[in-house]
Copies of this chain bind each other. A is one copy, B any other.
Amino acid sequence: MDNFTFHIPTRFVFGKSAEMQTGEKLKELGLKNVLIVYGTGSVVRSGLLDRVKESLKNNDISFMELGGIVPNPVDGPVYEGIRIGRENNIDCVLGLGGGSALDTAKAIAVGIPYDGDFWDFYMDKATVEEALPVISVLTIAAAGSESSKSSVITKEDIPLKRGLNTEKIRPVLAILNPELTYTVPAIQKAYGIADMMAHIFERYFTNTKDVLLTDELCEAVLRTMIKSGSKMLFNSQDYASHADIMWAGTLAHNDTLATGRQQDWSCHGIAHGISARFGAAHGATLAVLFPFWMKHQLHHDVERFYRFAVKVMGIDEQEDHEAAAIEGIDKLRTFFDSLGLPHSLKTFGVTEDALPELVDDVKLNAEDKIGFFNPLGKEDILAIYKAALN
């Protein structure tokens, strides 16, 4: 186990009708003037936006609105939100929706107090010194953005998808009502499950030794995701499974499961370009790429993949650890299939001639590699993309 510091300042309000407590909780935090950032219709149609606004009004909290955020959120609305925030002396930014609304809210929160272009932070050209408090009211369990320190935005004119990681954007308050996720389309629920499982994979496949406790925690949550994920998908009004998945998605990405472990993040890194260039859903790209990433990385640590196969995928213990590990990876792919997830990059319109450009999009380190578990060079990335085109 590596040395670590750990601090999750987020206040969680979880359960039925949780959104009705938004105003009261903001008042407790001394916040008075909110910018509400949301998507393209369902939060309006469902009445959720109205309920949140009512809760704010009941607690004498004023607000402005910025709607129309799209999946794989882009920079345009961020600039718009920064302008609105500055002109109206907004004191906090509330993301209402899924990862896209939340990531946009975070980008606005760092942009408002910054003199330069908010994109500087996503290109590692500047470090975040200050941010407005971020609040999340979640409607799609997936991205973990509701209590993570991450935000991913696509600069539309390039196009380039980049992530920012800073403690300054970790939400101070997360409102989680599993019932709000009932109406999410089944395929989007499936994307969410793939996304949150991938968040654990990025932490689980590590070189850090002596990590029994966090291995057990990661495996516990992955097993729950598989079990409750299937249940949720085929029982659209089942509170128990929607609640499990919503809280599991939060735990998957706020580092509770991964203290003292080196994390990898190479599969996310090679997935981003597929969304940026082909408009593919983030969770869908991870569902396609992760099994191929695993097979490519298998020989770096067969025992870790064997443990994954046995403990998470329920493969029987056996003498041939490599065969069992492969069986585990195949079973993961079969599980993703059962949720209706794609299993080839072709699904997104990717063709072989697009691969070199996708490889060039990947943000590499000074050694021209990405990741920490078994760092991928350009040839590795190309090999994974090619395998995933089958």
Taking Cβ atoms with an 8 Å cutoff, the residues of A that contact B are 1-16, 18, 209-210, 212-213, 216-217, 219-221, 223-224, 227-228, 239-240, 243-244, 247-248, 256, 259-260
Contacts and interface: CB of A to CB of B under 8 A. Distances in A.
A216 B221 contact: yes
B7 A244 contact: no
Nearest to A256: B256
Contact of A7 (B12, B15, B223, B256): B12
A6 B14 contact: yes
Given A3-B14, A213-B248, A216-B223, 11 more contacts: A1-B15, A1-B244, A1-B247, A4-B15, A5-B12, A210-B243, A212-B224, A212-B228, A212-B240, A217-B217, A247-B260
A216 B224 contact: yes
Nearest to A5: B13
Contact of A15 (B10, B244, B260): B260
Contacts of A13: 5
Copies per complex of this chain = 2
19 contacts: A1-B15, A1-B243, A3-B16, A3-B18, A4-B12, A4-B15, A5-B13, A7-B11, A9-B9, A12-B259, A14-B259, A14-B260, A15-B260, A209-B240, A210-B240, A212-B228, A212-B240, A216-B221, A219-B220
Contacts of A216: 220-221, 223-224
Contact of A5 (B11, B212, B224, B260): B11
Contacts of A260: 14-15, 243, 247
Contacts of A213: 220-221, 224, 228, 244, 247-248
Contacts of A248: 213
A52 B57 CA distance: 49
A2 B16 CA distance: 9
Given A6-B12, A11-B7, A221-B217, A227 B212 contact: yes
Contacts of A8: 8
A18 B6 CA distance: 13
A193 B260 CA distance: 21
Nearest to A178: B1
Contacts of A220: 213, 216-217, 219-220
Nearest to A224: B213
A373 to B, nearest CB: 20
A125 to B, nearest CB: 27
A232 to B, nearest CB: 12
